[in-house]
Structure 1
Amino acid sequence: MKIEHIALYVKDLETARNFFVKYLGAKSNEGYHNLKTSFRSYFLSFDDGARLEIMNKPEMPDFPKEFARTGYAHIAFSVGSKEKVDALTAELKVDGYEVVSGPRTTGDGYYESCIVAIEGNQIEITI
């Protein structure tokens, strides 16, 4: 068994799509638009076969996202090396994204950083 894909609702579909393509190497499909419901989505594919669906419906509320809450906490991306974690974290910081932790080695041995990147949602960058 494997996870087929993870889905994330966003308010700004194009900004979210561009983030994953630019910084994390995602490849995007052409998108889907249901004219009846105004639902839109993109499937983003990554080199290892993982897929992320980003979705939007215009009338959705956008509630604050506390870091310590129930539900999904973050999406983690492995970039392959400590140097790549450092470089991508620095690039994201320069581009205005909030670095909330790291780069650092955690108590359980991960080398990682955590960025607030998509509308208050966290992206973790690991080796």
Structure 2
Amino acid sequence: MSVSVKVKQQIIERDGGWCLMMLPGCLGEAQTAHHRANRGAGGSSVLDHPANLCAVCTVCNGLAEDANAITRMDLIHRGLRIEKAATNEATLARAIATPVEAVDGERWYLVSATERMHVSEAMRP
């Protein structure tokens, strides 16, 4: 099972319509949803959860997995790449707990396909 077109569209809208990665050659406008923790060769659909998806352009989506070490570390730092844990469920928990950094430097938790929460809101008692 893959992410539906409807969910991809919701992710793009949730994330403001712009590619969050902005790698060299970026098209700017997001066209798809990127798995922050890669499903790999058909991996678990658990990782299709909206908290593990972010809006990107097709160029950046293609470059992300083969990125050099410096770019990879930047993507991890910005929450746009999640390293795999021992299980897919633990990897998803890591994605839920890791905010993404938008192009304007703001950081957001990805709550659902249509909702995100600014980190400052999450820190309130």
Normalised by the size of structure 2, how large is the TM-score?
0.31
The structure that is helix-richer by fraction is 2
Normalised by the size of structure 1, how large is the TM-score?
0.31
The structure that is strand-richer by fraction is 1
